[in-house]
Structure 1
Amino acid sequence: MKFLKKIALSIGMLAGVAALSAATANTASAGAMEDILKRGELRVAVQTQGAPVSFINKDGKQTGLAVELARMMGEDLGVKVVFQDYDWKGLIPALLAGKVDMIAADMTPTPQRAAQLLFSRPMFYEETVAVVKNDSPLAKWEDLNQEGLNIGSTQASSYSEAIKKFMPKATLKEFTGGTAAVAQALSAGRIDATVSDLGNVTNFVNEFGNLKILDGIIVKNPLAFAVRPDEVHLKLWLDNYVELITSDKRLDQMVNYWWNTTDWEKDHK
């Protein structure tokens, strides 16, 4: 009988711990959104080195698809949006350290990243392509999978992973400074090719004038915003918001302006 009582007591204690843990988790997940509303401020990490997603325009203003999406979120939520600029490799550490509330960037929710963060439902899907100099004899992206070629990419990006996966015979060269630094290296002949999303590629092909896009799409990647793993309420709010701006066509309008066309260039470059 005493033995049964001990078992019952142990089960009761475990149930109490579980309930307390669940309550703590719920409090933590609710706290992120509550903090934003109390501050009246949404802190957003961006990387303003990659037009048209996030960059500094001709007037010295932060803008781009991710930036303007975050601004629209703030307006609809009734809070001020404060942007903090980081190098690509610094985005996730800044979020995990609590310096910002979310990452607004062209970030793919890879298994490695999703193990650290919570991602919103995809904002849209990017097409990853390859670029070379105009005088290159290569015609399609599959031609890059050969020894002796140096292919550049943004450090710690999904593009680096695509190069490792689809072009294992080539040599990967990673750069800090975003896609702009990689494009400059390619234009100057310091690398043989680069891999990036079609939006960024279209921008720097037009800018440099001596680059061309190889035939074929390497992969299509979902792009999403990210929050800390305990910010369940904020993640669900983001999912709901993406659904809202998809249904009222505002997301389509922004993607068409910033991503599917070069209309933004005349206004911001």
Structure 2
Amino acid sequence: MRKILGALLALAMAAPSWVMASDQALWEKSTLHEILQRGELRVGLEAGYMPFEMRDKKGNIIGFDVDLARLMAKTMGVELKLVNTQWDGIIPALLTEKFDILLGGMTITPERNLQINFSDPYIVIGQTVLLNRKLAGTVTNYAQLNDPKYTIATKLGTTGDIAARRYLPNARIHNYESEVDAMIEVRNGRADAFVYDQPYNLVYSAQFPDQVVHLSEPFTRESLGWGVRKGDPDFLNWLNNFLRQIRDDGVYDALYKKWFENTVWLKNVTG
């Protein structure tokens, strides 16, 4: 018995050094460690999703997500590099290490979570409808569009597309590569409505009040998160703590008001 107890005691005393070595190895493989070593945070997004990320008149990418990314890099003490990526290839680009984090207004879904991990939600939104002005007063609720006589525009690969097919199965659904392409169809009358995220639709309706009508009541509820590669608890832990801190110190609220409660920035954005 004494020999057994002695062996267990020796093992217990040796365990901390073994655990520390294991933790150090995991840390050295962490994306966060690589970012600090490189001196640069690479953020993947797709410019065109107002007010999260879009280009100003000088061609610079600006927006709510961009300000958050800039704050992340500043907190880490590194430079920021924005990697503009097509939406339908943005998860594969993250997985093949084209950038370190996906920070582009992505809805957390079980299907996406099979491929990547998400931070805690940093904002909650919902799907709404932008109508061609000719339907003002005729259509007052998204459910009325569930009719074969209506054509619904959506952006390919988005939760707006999924929501339109789920809630409006009887309508004709047409996919487009970008939000701009879809909305041009609505404004020109070739599509009756556009189903997309509430923040974007709110801003767009403010830009073109004579051409579109916003049914602003969301008919879905969606949490957006920052995407990272699997198997990286250190990076995920840092991101969640970063988010908690900027909410606690009021920085998050200031950025939210800048981009979602004020449209002054619209004058600096290309049409």
TM-score class, shorter:
0.7 to 0.9
CA contact (8 A) 2:30 2:235 kept: no
State the Cα deviation string for residues 76-127 of structure 1 (Å, max 9, x = none): 1101110111111121111011111011111101111111111111111113
Structure 2 partner of 1:210: 211
TM superposition shift of 1:215: 5.6
In 2 relative to 1, CA 142–50 (structure 1 residues): closer, same or farther, beyond 3 Å? same
Deviates further, 226-235 or 33-42: 226-235
CA drift of 1:186 comes to: 1.1
Distance 1:251 1:121, change over 3 A: same
Where does residue 13 of structure 1 map in the other structure?
A: none
**CA offsets 1:3-34 (integer angstroms, 9 cap, x no match):** xxxxxxxxxxxxxxxx99xx599627842111
Aligned residue number for residue 54 of structure 1: 53
The secondary structure found in structure 2 opposite 1:236 is: helix
User: What does residue range 52-91 of structure 1 map to in structure 2 within 5 Å?
Assistant: 52-91=51-90
Structure-2 change in CA distance of 1:252 and 1:30 (3 Å): farther
| Residues 239-267 of structure 1, C-alpha deviations (whole Å, 9 max, x = no match) | 11110001011111111111233232245
Equivalent in the alignment of 1:195: 195
Q: Is the 8 A contact 1:132 1:213 kept in 2?
A: yes
TM-score (norm 2): 0.85
Aligned AA for 1:163?
A
Structure-1 separation of matches of 2:176 and 2:28: 35
Shift of 1:204: 1.8
The alignment status of 1:171 with 2:169, answered yes or no, reads no
Give 2:102's aligned residue. 103
What is the percentage of aligned positions where both structures have the same residue?
26
Question: Which blocks of at least 5 consecutive residues in structure 1 are unaligned?
Answer: 1-18
SS at match of 1:135: helix
Deviations 1:144-186 (A, max 9, x none): 1122322111111111111122112112211112x22211121
| Greater shift in the superposed pair: 223-232 or 258-267 | 258-267
CA contact (8 A) 1:52 1:199 kept: yes
User: C-alpha distance in 2, partners of 1:146/1:94?
Assistant: 38
* Corresponding residue number in structure 1 for 2:235: 234
Question: Which stretch has the larger CA shift, 111-120 or 252-261?
Answer: 252-261
SS of residue paired to 1:104 = strand
Q: Distance in 2 between the 1:142 and 1:198 partners? A: 16
**What's the secondary structure of 2:134's corresponding residue?**
coil
* Alignment partners' CA distance in 1, 2:251 and 2:164: 34
Q: Does 1:153 align with 2:158?
A: no
The 1-side partners of 2:182 and 2:84 are apart by: 19
Indicate how the Cα distance of structure 1 residues 204 and 56 shifts in structure 2: closer, same or farther if over 3 A, else same.
Answer: same
Deviations 1:22-54 (A, max 9, x none): x59962784211110000001111100122110
> Match of 1:5?
none
CA distance in 1 between partners of 2:152 and 2:70 (Å): 35
Deviation at 1:268, TM superposition (A): 4.6
2:221 is paired with a residue whose SS is strand
The code of the aligned residue for 1:39 comes to R
Provide closer, same or farther for how the CA distance between residues 176 and 26 of structure 1 changes in structure 2, counting only shifts above 3 A. farther
Contact 1:29–1:233 under 8 Å retained in 2:
no
Query: In structure 1, what is the equivalent of residue 10 of structure 2?
Result: none
Structure 1 letter corresponding to 2:130: V
Give the secondary structure class of the aligned counterpart of 2:217. coil
Instruction: Tell me which amino acid in the other structure corresponds to 1:121.
Output: D
Q: Which moved more, 1:162-171 or 1:24-33?
A: 24-33
Of 213-222 and 192-201, the range deviating more from structure 2: 213-222
The CA RMSD measured in Å over matched residues stands at 2.2
| Residue in 2 that maps onto 1:162 | 163
Question: Counterpart in 2 of 1:180?
Answer: 180
